[in-house]
A and B are shown apart, each in its own frame.
Chain A
């Protein structure tokens, strides 16, 4: 019972024996422990179990091994969703990182009205993906949107119909998602830039390094941790993307712009294919863990070595 001393470590001088104060921390933490155990880990296991059954409209517990996973990867719609995630995810991450770094560097040049500009760049992050999707659906719609704007301005042959083109629609998702999240990446890097040691930069300049060289050789390399954080967050947003697709394209035309999250939702709740839906959810979990576990591991190790 002596284990719950405050974290300075040494054993305190209080009398031994039962005291409510000793138990309080555990009692207080208990509800969250139960929640985490049941609603995170329990449910995860439950979904895993379902993914090995032939459940359709209702969960059943007839185990069929890996059959659902086999069906899943033979399912054309799932493969489209997975390919889309590959295209969408990599473009979204790359463009956001590029834009974010550039904008952060630009804003770091003693800009007047920096606060206002920063606020403008970042506001989309406060908005729901459903609103973003609705707005961009209107902008990208060829009959009334940007295409019409350009034609009316005199560019008669201007064509911008990605939203209804099955081969291009996934890039519409990229545009809208970049609009929403790139300002956030900018904010991350700007905070990082402000934390770089000023003396280091001064020394580089005294040595005759140009601004460009200083950024490339000294400042940006020191922002590696920010870079990794941004990467993980963006990958996480990409894998979980659901609302944006729902609002912007509803998966269409056909299922050309489905992402795994939308596939999972459709198969589990509208198509009564609980087994396959669960299998797709497990694949998504696998993707996230593949990114997250190495990241958390290195973070925690870093924290320990700092102590």
Chain B
């Protein structure tokens, strides 16, 4: 219906159709929003209200007790310090892992698209497969390797793992972006005596801001939301927040406190949600980067 609205009289039927269309869209929006709304409402109720109310009944007044408890004193497995230590762990893992994998990806992409050598394309194809393998096929060998390296059950180990399996994606992003830079530009710079890194710093990096943003956001979301590596390779002290949240929800002594569960879930989701709200455009671009050509 892209262009056909123009130049036609809107009849009654058309009007009814449009109302139905908007109604459907709003209803669907309700479906997507409902879990988040219910999480927020539930997290602000006290235990009594959770037990007696329904999903959508509003709290009598807004309690933040369960948020406080989720943050600093709820039990996740055997320890009872809330999810705050693990929230910090996630940052300790995410920040270096994102930085290193983005830098590696940028340089790899630069080489693969602008300094091709025999076999570099084959290498890229081989790396591409790394984006898609089910990580179950590397879990056990990686666990052994982390043990040998002496970084098992540490945040350092998780940084290492996320860099290793993130670099395929970051390389893909940068490679696709740099494909559009004309090779003549590099040739001219070389004739002027510029070296490999000079060209990268002076010519390539200044035009890379959009793809850096896309990559950083993508990696941040992926690593923050990771659970498999977190649960397989972390120790009690180094769990990321997703693992702690899962432990908190499944810890059963002292009765279930759904309001605390929900508060913890919202806290764990907050960083990526904030990134999404403020940089949604780049997030979507990352999501579709590998999927839609061009």
Contacts and interface: CB of A to CB of B under 8 A. Distances in A.
Interface of A: 3-9, 12-14, 20-21, 24-26, 28-29, 31-33, 35-36, 39-44, 46-47, 50, 59, 103, 106-111, 117, 119-132, 134-139, 144-146, 148-149, 152-153, 179, 183-184, 187-188, 191-192, 196, 198, 201-202, 205, 211, 214, 225-226, 229-230, 233, 236, 239-240, 242-243, 246-247, 250, 260-261, 264-265, 268-269, 274, 277-278, 280-282, 284-285, 287-288, 292, 296, 299-300, 303
B123 A29 contact: yes
Nearest to B26: A117
Interface in B130-162: 130, 132-142, 144-145
B275 interface: yes
Nearest to A281: B136
B225 A230 contact: no
**Is the contact region of chain B dominated by helix, strand, or loop, or is it mixed?**
helix
6 contacts: A21-B190, A36-B127, A44-B138, A107-B25, A183-B32, A277-B140
A165 B183 CA distance: 61
Nearest to A45: B141
Given A12-B191, A109-B1, A281-B137, A191 B288 contact: yes
Contacts of A103: 25, 28
Given A8-B187, A121-B28, A144-B258, 16 more contacts: A7-B183, A21-B190, A29-B108, A106-B24, A124-B32, A127-B269, A129-B225, A130-B265, A131-B265, A148-B54, A179-B31, A202-B3, A229-B291, A233-B291, A240-B134, A268-B140
Q: Which of A107, A130, A205, A260 has the most CB of B within 10 A?
A: A130
Given A240-B134, A284-B134, A6 B3 contact: no
A161 B184 CA distance: 65
Contacts of A287: 134
Contacts, number: 304
B280 interface: yes
Contacts of B50: 144
Contacts of A132: 35
B120 interface: yes
Contacts of A41: 126
Nearest to B34: A139
Interface in B236-278: 242, 245-246, 249-250, 258, 261-262, 264-266, 268-269, 272-273, 275-277
A32 B100 CA distance: 12
B235 interface: no
Interface residues of B, number: 107
**Is the contact region of chain A dominated by helix, strand, or loop, or is it mixed?**
helix
Given A129-B225, A135-B39, A43 B142 contact: yes
Contacts of A137: 249
Contacts of B268: 128, 130-131
A30 to B, nearest CB: 10
A135 B38 contact: yes
Contacts of B113: 7
Contact of B242 (A130, A148, A214): A130
Contacts of B18: 109
Nearest to B221: A126
A188 B25 CA distance: 17
Q: 8 closest A-B pairs (Cβ-Cβ)? A: A128-B225, A8-B183, A126-B276, A24-B196, A25-B115, A4-B117, A43-B141, A243-B227
A26 to B, nearest CB: 6
Nearest to A125: B287
B9 interface: no
A121 B29 contact: yes
B113 to A, nearest CB: 7
B120 A288 contact: no
B60 interface: no
A29 B292 contact: no
Interface string B59-86: 0000000000000000000000000000
A108 to B, nearest CB: 7
Nearest to B250: A250
Nearest to A23: B196
Q: Which of B21, B225, B258, B275 has the most CB of A within 10 A?
A: B225
A139 B129 contact: no
A25 B25 contact: no
A127 B133 contact: no
Contact of A6 (B28, B183, B249, B264): B183
B88 interface: no
Contacts of A7: 113-116, 183
Given A137-B249, A284-B137, A32 B187 contact: no
Nearest to A9: B183
